[in-house]
Amino acid sequence: MKPKLEGFIHGWNAKGKSSGYIRNPDVSVTVNNTVNISISFEETRQKVEDMTALSREQTDEILEKINELEEISKENSSRKTKWEKVKPIIAFALDKGADVAIAILTLVMQMKLGG
């Protein structure tokens, strides 16, 4: 009984003038969420420079890997070739901790080596 009363309150069962019953209007909701994660090689280098937990030697080593990634991204080779060159850099980054891995993997994702 409660659903019928609620329908009556909303006018779902009221008679209209020309078409019989007034119907609930069709509602269409479209939600487009676009997340743009755009981070440059330079911004990543700055983030690595600001990581206080890294020694100077570690920082230089990571910056060298970022430079390698930048060169790979500029190459005019196939995705497969680029991917083969990127895999060792990913393994390196994962071994250096979460902050470094996130920074490197963000750059790799922007290179669009998949699919």
pLDDT tens figures, 29-80:
777 765 444 468 889 999 999 999 999 999 999 999 999 999 998 888 898 9
Q: How far is CA 90 from CA 10, 41, 57, 104, in A?
A: 58, 15, 19, 7
- Residues 57 and 34: their CA atoms lie apart, in Å, by 38
pLDDT at 104: 93
pTM: 0.62
User: Among residues of the chain, what percentage have pLDDT more than 90?
Assistant: 44
Distance, in Å, from the CA atom of 96 to the CA atom of 64, rounded to the nearest integer, reads: 14
Residue 26 has what pLDDT? 67
Q: Show the CA angle centred on residue 49, arms to residues 45 and 52, nearest 5°.
A: 145
